[in-house]
Amino acid sequence: MRKSSRQSFYRALLKTNIRYGNGRTYLDSPQLLLCVFLLLSGPLINLATIAVRSLIVLNATNQAARQASHALCFQSSAPWKSVAEKLCAIGIANKVLDDDLSTRAGIKKHDTAVAIVVKNANGSESGPFYSPLKSADIDVFTKIYYLQVDVLAVIDPLFSYPMLGEIPGLTSPYTIKLSARNVFEHPQGLAE
């Protein structure tokens, strides 16, 4: 095809009115396309918001496990609460989670559990133990001691769509439980 015949073909194609005689021009109206776009983009924005907020909770859980694994003890019997929060794993994990999640909109922390998981040299695991171990059970030569932080959080969607019903994560709050584990650096501090 020559250039002039190609141009005339496209002009003829553009001039052709492909509308039906039954009045179906409403399918091409910009108002309808805008409504369809808004109906599809709203739930997608909600799902993206849930994903971002879930990643924030995951990061806070990993950070809490990482910082609490440097603690000198697992649980303090000290009468001073400030000492227990600064030195012991449970206090450090709770403080890190509170600091990270309390300032975030749409995220509510419901429950936190800090546990000890013991891995033997043969690869078998025991635990989680939510209280300190007995000092006779701690063997640093044949076992690895992990600190596990479990977080139960509720994440709210950005928009509410009551016409879609109750769909967790899309129209209603989404409950998520995350765990993070890190090697405890001072296994002797896991004893009572």
15-44 per-position pLDDT tens digit: 555 555 555 555 567 777 787 787 788 778
CA atoms within 13 A on the CB side of 162: 0
Phi then psi dihedrals of residue 50, to 5 deg: -60, -40
Residue 105: band (very low, low, confident or very high) from pLDDT cuts 50, 70, 90: confident
Is pLDDT above 60 for 85?
no
Is pLDDT above 60 for 1?
no
Residue 191 structure tokens: 């004893």
Residue 11: band (very low, low, confident or very high) from pLDDT cuts 50, 70, 90: low
Residue 59: band (very low, low, confident or very high) from pLDDT cuts 50, 70, 90: very high
Over residues 128-150, the mean pLDDT reads 82
CB 109 within 8 A of CB 146: no
Q: How far apart are CA 142 and CA 133, in angstroms?
A: 16
Residue 167: band (very low, low, confident or very high) from pLDDT cuts 50, 70, 90: confident
Q: How far apart are CA 56 and CA 11, in angstroms?
A: 54
- Angle, CA 20 vertex, CA 14 and CA 24 arms, to 5°: 110
